Structure 1
Amino acid sequence: MKKSLLFVMPSLASGGGERSLVNLLSQMDYSQYEVDLFLFNHEGLFMEYVPKEVTILPIPESYQLFAQPLGPSVWSFLMQGRLPLAYSRLMFSLKNRYSRNLSTREQYNWRYISSSIDLLQKKYDTAIGFLEKTSTYFCVEKVQAGRKIGWVHIDYDELGMDPDFDIVYFEQLDHIVTVSEECAAILKKRFPSQQHKVNVIHNIVSPAVIHHMAEENRSDVYNRKEDELIILTVGRLHPQKGYELAIEACKILVGQGYNVRWHVIGEGAERARLTELIKVNRLENHFILLGLKSNPYPYIKQADLYVQTSRFEGKSIAIDEAKILKKPIVITRFSTAADQIREGLEGLIVDMQASSVAQGIEKLFRDRGLQRKMADQLAQARLGTEDEIYQLYSLLQGEVS
């Protein structure tokens, strides 16, 4: 008899966690597992990549009303005589307006969101909150399951969350999964009473799939001009990604006479601020926000360099994908950088300063021998992580205590 699984995720809009889930679902053995997926939002870039074997659960009617703009949402609840939900929706809006820390805002807003969602009626063998915060809270409070797993995709300490809030939920999980050894060490240090639950399962990436998708568009996606240096970054437009460092580094390179075009694939709340920063620095022709791309791989393949200026990461899937496509890589020295590339062999790790980023780019671009050395190292490396699915199966079957 198949085991029943539920994955919980806010959406499949864009981002590393979302791509990681789609990759994992593509590797599942559906002869052994019956898989449901709960999403708070059914729109998103990766919805089309959900395997047909996965059942996407409907969004509860009360949460659909809660997710509407403030006025219509409160009015609907008042008309239905659901005063507690009207109050929760109002408080949710007020907390969002006046809370500055995005992470603690999401943590403490769960108390208002949860009032709009009833306990799921179906019982599962295992429920998995596949992203930190809301997905895990939902998994703990709203799902009946024999085993519960929470996933943390990031350096926990860098998120600025309140661990006193999370410990209540972590204590009710059977396993806490994270994506790198460094992230695991941070969790164990932050939550010593839960360290026996922490397991590492690396993000699943498939070289065969990536190479295939990279060849789907063989035309020049950049409309490259002669003597241009094409740089690519992939990631949501969020303060975590340090795009102001990238913009300043681009300005330095242009000032040094390099014909740079730096492209960014991703979307997010920072678009307006970054657009203004690009304009102020007169880089409209040199730093381009491309928005979302369902298939970023032709862009990675055709770029000269892949650069990531993140302030912190868990395990960046985009960097792993750039490695698979044997791109020269420059990344900043975030806490898990050494988990991502071997310094000097697979790429350069530079200080978190615009001048250092620019120097790293210049060094790698000018030194063709170093580029070839790194490409050779990446060609010999075993970069596929499809076998990580067996780590998950061990947790699902209770083989890991």
Structure 2
Amino acid sequence: MKKKLLFVIPGLDAGGAEKSLVNLLSAMDESRFSVDLFMFSHEGLFMGQIPNWVRVIPKNAELANFQKPLFYSLLTFLKKGKLSAAKDRLFFYVKNKFIKNPGIAEQYAWKHLRSACETPTEHYDVAIGFLEKTSNYFVVDCVAAKAKIAFIHTTYSELNMDVSFDLKYFDVTKNIAVVSPDCAANFKKVFPEFADKVYVMPNIVSPRLINKLAQESPEDVYETSLVSVGRLESVKGFDMAIEAARILNEQNIAFHWSIIGEGTERGNLQNLIDRYDLQNHFTLIGLKDNPYPYIRTAKIFVQSSRYEGKSIAVDEAKILAKPIILTNFTTAKDQIENNVNGLIVGMTPDAIAAGIIKYLEDASFTEHIIANLRADYFGTEHEIEKFYQLINE
């Protein structure tokens, strides 16, 4: 009999965890598993990549009404005489609006969102919250399963969350999966009582698929191009990237830098580009269904993050043998070896700019890095066996 699994994730918009999930589902043996997928949003860049054998659970009407814009949501609930639901919707808005830390806001707003979540009718062998916070809370509070697993896709301490809030959720999960050894060490430091539950489950990437998709032609090709991929959020450090671009431009270095992604910082980043008159050198090109041609044709891949769990985009750049620059976030050394298959630089615009200049002006060093990347194999399809072990423990 097939093992019955439930995965929970907020949605499949662009992001490392979201891509990690579709890669994991695509690598699974469908003859061994029956898989349901619950999402709070049924929109996103990776929706079309869900394997057709995976059943997407429809949203219940209460949740759909809860997710309407505030005025229409309140109006809908009040017309139906659902005063409690209207109150929860209002408090959900207030907490997300006025609590400055977005992680804590998501924690404290959960009980209000939970009121609109219908308990799945199925009983599962394993239920998996595939992203920190709401996904894990839903699995613990709303799902009937023999075993419950929480995933953390980043350096937990960097989220600055209410640890006591999460403690009661991690206490009832069977395992806590993290994406790298450094993330594991960090999590154990915050939650030493759960050290024996922590399980390193790396992201799954497929060189065969990435190389195939990379052969398509990008819409815009620049002779000396830099590329970054990620959400337009403060954590990704794209403000530092723009400052680095200003330094390069002031030194009359030829380049064009493209960022693939969307997010709440787009306006602020574009204002910074305009302030430094970098419109001809720096472009926010938005989301792309297939970012790989842009990475393939770039001279350098830059990850300017303030912190990361384990970046799938970096793994993909390694597969495409791109010279890589990482800022020295905590888990950077988990992904590249400095001066061997990439560069780890200080978390400043000057250091980022210096790394780019080194690649552009030192051809022998750049060729050395590319040769080392091409000589290695970065596929992680075999890691699916670790997932099977995780859910069978």
TM-score by length of 2: 0.99
For 2:92, the equivalent position in structure 1 comes to 92
Amino acid at match of 1:279: D
Q: Which moved more, 1:10-19 or 1:362-371?
A: 362-371
For 2:253, the equivalent position in structure 1 comes to 258
RMSD of Structure 2 on Structure 1 (CA): 0.9
- Aligned match for 1:315, one of 305, 310, 319: 310
- Aligned match for 2:325, one of 330, 348, 367: 330
CA deviation after TM superposition for structure 1 residue 220, in Å:
5.5
> What stretches of structure 2 of length at least 5 have no aligned partner?
none
SS of match in other structure, 2:44: coil
What CA distance in whole angstroms lies between the structure 1 residues aligned with 2:5 and 2:208? Answer: 27
What CA distance in whole angstroms lies between the structure 1 residues aligned with 2:201 and 2:97? Answer: 36
Cα distance, 1:266–1:201 mapped onto 2, change above 3 Å? same
For 1:301, the equivalent position in structure 2 comes to 296
CA deviation after TM superposition for structure 1 residue 125, in Å:
0.4
For 1:202, the equivalent position in structure 2 comes to 202
SS of match in other structure, 1:116: coil
Q: Any residues of structure 2 matched to 1:122-141 within 5 Å, and which?
A: 122-141=122-141
SS of match in other structure, 1:283: coil
What CA distance in whole angstroms lies between the structure 2 residues aligned with 1:163 and 1:365? Answer: 44
Q: Deviations over 1:177-201 (max 9, x none)?
A: 0000000001111001111100001
What CA distance in whole angstroms lies between the structure 2 residues aligned with 1:76 and 1:259? Answer: 55
For 2:157, the equivalent position in structure 1 comes to 157
What CA distance in whole angstroms lies between the structure 2 residues aligned with 1:330 and 1:396? Answer: 35
For 2:338, the equivalent position in structure 1 comes to 343
SS of match in other structure, 1:86: helix
What CA distance in whole angstroms lies between the structure 1 residues aligned with 2:332 and 2:285? Answer: 25
SS of match in other structure, 2:115: helix
SS of match in other structure, 1:196: helix
- The reply to whether residue 239 of structure 1 matches residue 237 of structure 2 is no
Contact 2:319–2:377 (CA under 8 A) maintained in structure 1: no
Q: Which moved more, 1:78-87 or 1:131-140?
A: 78-87
**Which aligned runs of 4 or more in structure 1 are off by greater than 2 angstroms?**
219-224
Q: Deviations over 1:114-136 (max 9, x none)?
A: 01112211100000000000000
What CA distance in whole angstroms lies between the structure 1 residues aligned with 2:162 and 2:52? Answer: 38
Contact 1:221–1:298 (CA under 8 A) maintained in structure 2: no
CA deviation after TM superposition for structure 1 residue 223, in Å:
3.5
What CA distance in whole angstroms lies between the structure 1 residues aligned with 2:316 and 2:218? Answer: 19
Q: Deviations over 1:210-260 (max 9, x none)?
A: 001101x1x464343xxx420000000000001110000001001101121
What CA distance in whole angstroms lies between the structure 1 residues aligned with 2:207 and 2:246? Answer: 34
Percent of residue pairs identical: 48
For 1:46, the equivalent position in structure 2 comes to 46
Contact 2:199–2:390 (CA under 8 A) maintained in structure 1: no
Q: Any residues of structure 2 matched to 1:347-362 within 5 Å, and which?
A: 347-362=342-357
For 2:107, the equivalent position in structure 1 comes to 107
- Aligned match for 2:364, one of 365, 369, 390: 369
Q: Which moved more, 1:23-32 or 1:376-385?
A: 376-385
Amino acid at match of 2:5: L
- The reply to whether residue 222 of structure 1 matches residue 220 of structure 2 is yes
What CA distance in whole angstroms lies between the structure 1 residues aligned with 2:140 and 2:360? Answer: 49
Contact 2:67–2:73 (CA under 8 A) maintained in structure 1: yes
Q: Deviations over 1:277-324 (max 9, x none)?
A: 111111111110000001000000000000011000000000000000
